[in-house]
């Protein structure tokens, strides 16, 4: 169908691609209004009833979410239904409930006011977290809080399940509950002003194979209901009022993309070998035990980064040593003999645990403050419990240990000393563990990169966390919209630092992996391999595209690419060089 008003000017807008696919249709602007919270003092004789009203609202919310979860499991799948486990956990968070009751008893204000104040405090804490995935969890709390307030006030909530016909959904953001209401027969695509690639709306869209774009900033104010648009989820492009020639071109692109995706999946069953016979080890980054299936289904050769802090952040209490042992053992035994690299806790000022605020003092700059290994070396009871759990699990598979945020040899020595204490304790108890378990460190602080030769004498491998390393090297907060455009992985300082780390590691006969976002970007992978990286670890769904590219190139060409890049001074020229390299290999395939 052609646009209703051909005279309208075609407008092309850029966002962040979040779910692959191309869609064409009319826009539906979804506006989710905030609940207006009343503010009044509760009379003494009604205070017991007020607490009971709060309990009833929590119960009703729990029932509503359980119903949504059942519908999602039936219509989309069990993995996607687990999204709402986090929502149910919010409702069972004793810290949140207790603090609300305490606020009510102290102020005597109505329970809506008290609950809104406490929940907003939690939302703010998660919003300020540096980690993108964890920052998105603020939407879980916001979604649940909105539903609880609706139930307290007796108001009905909006729903995307009521779309009359096929539409491209455009919103400022989409809550998990709203995303659960998406119907693949009516939702052609999802586009949001805010959000990220890890938002629940995006997760659901990917599961439904619905194109999605995030980070459009002000699209909701630039479009109107019924306007025609093309959504390019591959490149993050929104085209308003597309011309006939654009429609024809995108029809061709869509067919090409479908063919290419089929090729990717076919190639994923093949080894990641270059055309000149060099094998590249591709591993997976995971956060939870239930992601084991993703590791195997995408044919990863083990886990290059197991982010253990999610075991702690999924609950308001610190998991016991035995609970941790069981979790690590499940992953190790399921993936044996492939290795599983377990990163010790990366908790701290930017990743506070609910209900444990006393462990994390407020900081002006938490991203460079009391976190990760610094936190662990001060709270050795928590650290030792985790280390013993990892050691005990090492008897059931090929586990390697990795420390985060190491800034120098002193911290590495201290961490290893604590590890030796844990080994001695387990020997005394007669608990079996791998006496030869390899211990490595992440390189994500410039001081660690500069002293790589010293650190290499103290550990068995390096894993470069490019996300943090880049922002520390060039002083760019990648989550700050005003300066995010300055975040450049191809900056000469970044490439020189990576090359230095690799050279020093290889001189000391230890391996180097990349576990940051660069390692999962097919356009940058040849450059990294040309610099000498030994293995790559990434989010599992990114593996097929990286594997496909590796099988289309030679390592000799990758080394030449790296040499050429190192002779350039402009990050954009280096990126263009990498892009041309990638496109030439894709054409050849």
The structure tokens listed for 382 are 């928590």
The DSSP H or E segment spanning 588 is helix 571-588
The structure tokens listed for 545 are 């595209």
Active-site residue among 114, 376, 422, 515? 515
3-state secondary structure 424-456: HHHHHHCCCCCCCCCEEEEECCHHHHHCHHHHC
Q: Which residue has the tokens 């080994």?
A: 423
Give me the DSSP letters along 82-100.
GGGHHHHHHHT-HHHHHHH
- 282 CB contacts (<8 Å, ≥6 apart)? 272, 299, 300, 301, 535, 536, 537, 538, 543, 546, 547, 550
- 558 CB contacts (<8 Å, ≥6 apart)? 274, 526, 527, 529, 530
The structure tokens listed for 171 are 């919103």
The DSSP H or E segment spanning 286 is strand 281-286
The structure tokens listed for 58 are 């929590």
Active-site residue among 200, 376, 396, 459? 200
Query: Can the peptide bond before residue 337 be classed as cis, meaning omega within 30 degrees of 0?
Result: yes
Sign of CA dihedral 208, 213, 217, 219: negative
Q: Nearest-5° angle of CA 86, CA 300, CA 469?
A: 70
The contacts found for 48-52 with CB under 8 angstroms, 24 or more apart, are 50/104, 50/110, 50/111, 51/101, 51/104, 51/111
Distance CA 508, CA 491 (A): 26
Q: Is 376 part of the annotated catalytic residue set?
A: no
Q: Which ranges in 456-491 belong to alpha helices (H)? A: 466-473
Q: Nearest-5° angle of CA 426, CA 431, CA 435?
A: 70
3-state secondary structure 5-43: CCCCCCEEEECEEEECCEEEEEEEEECCCCCCCCCCECC
**CA distance from start to end of the chain:** 34
Distance CA 28, CA 504 (A): 55
Q: Is 578 part of the annotated catalytic residue set?
A: no
* Helix/strand/coil for 557: helix
- 354 CB contacts (<8 Å, ≥6 apart)? 93, 95, 96, 122, 313, 316
Distance CA 110, CA 121 (A): 17
- 469 CB contacts (<8 Å, ≥6 apart)? 443, 444, 445, 446, 449, 494, 497, 516
Distance CA 189, CA 489 (A): 30
What amino acid positions are annotated as catalytic residues? 200, 515
């Amino acid at each position: 169908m052609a646009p209703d008003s051909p005279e309208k000017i075609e407008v092309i807008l850029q966002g962040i691609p979040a779910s692959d696919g191309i869609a064409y249709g009319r826009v539906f602007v979804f506006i989710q209004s905030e609940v207006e919270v009343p503010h009044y003092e509760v009379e003494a004789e009604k205070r017991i009833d007020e607490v009971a009203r709060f309990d009833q609202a929590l119960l009703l919310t729990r029932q509503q979410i359980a119903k949504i979860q059942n519908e999602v499991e039936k219509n989309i799948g069990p993995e996607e239904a687990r999204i709402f486990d986090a929502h149910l956990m919010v409702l069972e968070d004793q810290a949140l409930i207790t603090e609300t009751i305490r606020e009510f008893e102290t102020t005597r204000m109505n329970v809506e006011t008290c609950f809104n104040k406490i929940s907003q405090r939690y939302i703010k804490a998660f919003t300020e977290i540096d980690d993108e995935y964890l920052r998105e969890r603020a939407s879980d709390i916001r979604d649940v809080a909105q539903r609880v307030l609706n139930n307290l006030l007796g108001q009905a909530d909006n729903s995307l399940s009521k779309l009359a016909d096929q539409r491209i959904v455009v919103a400022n953001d989409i809550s998990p509950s709203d995303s659960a209401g998406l119907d693949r027969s009516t939702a052609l695509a999802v586009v949001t002003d805010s959000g990220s690639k890890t938002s629940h709306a995006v997760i659901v869209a990917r599961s439904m194979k619905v194109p999605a774009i995030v980070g459009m900033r002000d699209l909701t104010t630039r479009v109107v209901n019924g306007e025609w648009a093309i959504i390019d989820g591959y490149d993050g492009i929104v085209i308003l009022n597309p011309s006939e020639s654009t429609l024809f071109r995108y029809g061709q692109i869509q067919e090409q993309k479908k063919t290419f995706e089929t090729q990717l999946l076919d190639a994923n069953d093949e080894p990641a070998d270059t055309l000149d016979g060099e094998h590249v080890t591709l591993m997976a980054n995971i956060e939870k035990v239930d992601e084991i299936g993703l590791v195997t289904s995408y044919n990863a050769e083990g886990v290059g980064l197991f982010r253990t802090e999610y075991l702690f952040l999924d609950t308001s209490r610190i998991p016991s040593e035995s609970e941790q042992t069981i979790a690590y053992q499940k992953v190790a035994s399921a993936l044996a003999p492939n290795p599983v690299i377990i990163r010790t806790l990366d908790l701290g000022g930017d990743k506070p645990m609910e209900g444990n605020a006393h462990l994390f003092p407020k900081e002006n700059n938490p991203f460079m403050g009391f976190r990760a290994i610094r936190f662990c070396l001060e709270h050795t009871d928590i650290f030792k419990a985790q280390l013993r759990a990892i050691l005990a699990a090492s008897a059931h598979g090929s586990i390697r240990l990795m420390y985060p945020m190491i800034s120098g040899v002193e911290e590495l020595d201290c961490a290893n000393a604590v590890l030796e204490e844990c080994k001695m304790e387990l020997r005394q108890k007669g608990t079996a563990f791998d006496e030869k378990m390899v211990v490595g460190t992440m390189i994500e602080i410039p001081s660690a990169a500069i002293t790589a030769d010293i650190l290499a004498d103290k550990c068995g491998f390096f894993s470069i966390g490019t996300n943090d390393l880049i922002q520390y090297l060039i002083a760019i907060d990648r989550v700050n919209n005003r300066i995010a455009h300055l975040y450049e992985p191809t900056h000469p300082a970044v490439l020189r630092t990576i090359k230095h780390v690799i050279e020093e590691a290889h001189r000391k006969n230890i391996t180097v992996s990349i576990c940051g976002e660069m390692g999962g970007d097919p356009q940058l992978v040849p450059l990294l391999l040309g610099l000498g990286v030994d293995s790559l670890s990434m989010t599992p769904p990114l593996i097929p595209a990286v594997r496909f590219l590796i099988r289309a190139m030679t390592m000799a060409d990758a080394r030449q690419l790296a040499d050429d890049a190192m002779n350039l001074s402009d990050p954009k020229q280096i990126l263009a060089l990498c892009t041309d390299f990638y496109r030439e290999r894709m054409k050849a395939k």
